Amino acid sequence: MFSKKHHSPFSIHTFSGYGVVAGCGLFLLSLIPYFEWLYGFSALCYWSVFIVSWKRLNQRNKSQIRLLIGAGGIALIYHLYLAESIDLSSLFEGNLGIVAMLTGVSLLALLPDTAKQSPPVLGIKGALYTWLSVHLLGAVINMSATFFVGDKLQRPTGKMTMPQYSMLVRALTSAGLWSPFFASVAVALSIAPDAEFHNLAMIGIPMAICSCLLSLWELKRRDHLTSFSGFPIAVNSLFFPVMLAFLVIVFHYFIMTQTPILSIVTLLSPLSVVIYLTLKTGGNHTRSRIQDHIHIRLPNMANEIALFLSAGFLSKAISLALMSTFGNEWSLFTSFGFSEALICFIGICGISLLGLHPIVGISLMSSFVPAGSADNTLLAFVSLSSWAVGTAISPLSGINLSISGKYGVDNFQLARSNWRYGGMMAVVVAFGMLVLVLF
């Protein structure tokens, strides 16, 4: 884990924070006509942060990154052996938009806690309200929502039960099926650029509802439902997330229609937080909060940044190797339908069970199944669903490790508690794929 102490003004830790800010700022500026050349400098900033932060990365991520860079390096050498030239800059720009979006949405963690402490709600209402609170808040502020609700659940007795831990994980990961503020959606739209967000949301939201219903059914089947102590949903805490989601939709469909939705999220998330905090707490307090965020939170994003950049490098390198061998039109499958999509989903979830992040499997899929040779909506759906299910069942996923670290629960036990749920969700995913293929 990274230290959360303030460092000297010229420390590597502080440099990392400002490097992340510069990378995000340059990415946004590159969206302006005639400033596209700044895109490469954005990548340079993020890779610089990756390099200088190497010693501070956790061991689990280092192992994954070595694997990704090593495999990408072998693929690149193979490509250079067969090809005469290569665009080096493109190798290091993979997943850049996703990394910039993660930077932008990280400021959402600065939003104040406006919910008042209320008595816990028992039974089916408690379970449903807990799921809705984490899901709706998490759809915008991501993992912070699990700690926000988890701390409230823990307060009466000082601990939580395994059903409560499982509900936190499932409610958050299922938000990745549709929320434009999740890295899962950003990844899906980057590997399948012709997929439309509203089409993904139309199938992702019903699947998220299925996630909730399956979780409630499992609680009842195991006789945990009547004793479940839940978090009462706080309507006032949903105001900002709903407003921000509305703004993103308006900008995407009516104002910045040619701009990818993940870029709009990257722009509006920090901008709206700064405006909201300034109006709510004043300029000086907002400036202090942002400075702390740059000095503490952003340097601690090095693990996420390094993982996504490495996965992007692997994807680009393998794509080049495959193109130099089989030509530009090569794909692993002659067609991409139900069976092929299900094979990819199972493969990515299998990789997740082995301890690798779903982005590794998704990056490999994007190399073997180019967007130009597949139904982009189906391809994006495979990415979304494998991310949502894979992170819930993997003992080494970010959400399971974070909850394990904060609340002291065994991460392998937590993952096992979601395996039955993962199997049931796989059936739901298969049905969703069938619907996409047939209709």
Report residue 164's pLDDT band, with 50, 70 and 90 as the boundaries: very high
- 365's CB contacts (< 8 A; 6+ apart) are 191, 344, 347, 348, 379, 382, 383
pLDDT of residue 116: 59
Phi, psi of 121, deg, nearest 5 = -105, 130
Q: Quote the mean pLDDT of the chain.
A: 87
Strand partners, 229: 122
Tokens of 3: 């230290």
How far, in Å, CA of 183 to CA of 176, rounded?
8
pLDDT exceeds cutoff 80 at 82: yes
The CA angle 300-302-303, to the nearest 5 degrees, is 100
pLDDT of residue 368: 87
pLDDT exceeds cutoff 80 at 81: yes
How far, in Å, CA of 26 to CA of 42, rounded?
5
Tokens of 417: 């508690």
pLDDT over 90 for what percent of the chain? Answer: 47
Task: Kindly state the DSSP code that residue 34 receives in the 8-state scheme.
Answer: T
pLDDT of residue 10: 57
Report residue 9's pLDDT band, with 50, 70 and 90 as the boundaries: low
Report residue 4's pLDDT band, with 50, 70 and 90 as the boundaries: very low
- 25-47 pLDDT tens trace: 999 999 998 999 999 999 999 99
| Strand 121-122 relative to strand 229-230, pairing | antiparallel
pLDDT exceeds cutoff 70 at 7: no
How far, in Å, CA of 147 to CA of 207, rounded?
24
Report residue 2's pLDDT band, with 50, 70 and 90 as the boundaries: very low
The CB density around residue 80, as the number of other CB atoms within 10 Å, is 14
Average pLDDT over every residue of 79-88 = 79
- 224-267 pLDDT tens trace: 998 898 877 767 777 888 888 889 889 988 999 888 888 998 99
pLDDT exceeds cutoff 70 at 438: yes
pLDDT of residue 6: 47
Q: By the 8 A CB rule, do 299 and 2 touch?
A: yes
Q: What global pTM score does this model have? A: 0.80
pLDDT of residue 337: 92
- 263-309 pLDDT tens trace: 998 999 999 999 999 999 999 999 999 999 999 989 988 988 998 89
- 122-154 pLDDT tens trace: 899 999 999 998 998 888 877 778 887 888 888
pLDDT exceeds cutoff 90 at 316: no
Report residue 61's pLDDT band, with 50, 70 and 90 as the boundaries: confident
How far, in Å, CA of 1 to CA of 56, rounded?
8
How far, in Å, CA of 254 to CA of 245, rounded?
14
Q: Is 369 exposed, middle or buried (0-12, 13-18, 19+ CB in 10 A)?
A: buried
Which helix (H) or strand (E) segment holds residue 422: the answer is helix 419-438
DSSP code per residue over 315-369: HHHHHHHHHHHH-TT--SSSS-SHHHHHHHHHHHHHHHHTT--HHHHHHHHHHHS
pLDDT of residue 297: 87
Report residue 70's pLDDT band, with 50, 70 and 90 as the boundaries: very high
Tokens of 296: 């503490």
Q: Which residues of 8-46 are buried (b: 16+ CB within 10 A; e: fewer)?
A: eeeeebbbbbebbbbbbbbbbebbeeeeeebbeebbbbb
Q: Where are the beta strands (DSSP E) in 174-286?
A: 229-230
Average pLDDT over every residue of 397-421 = 86
pLDDT of residue 5: 47
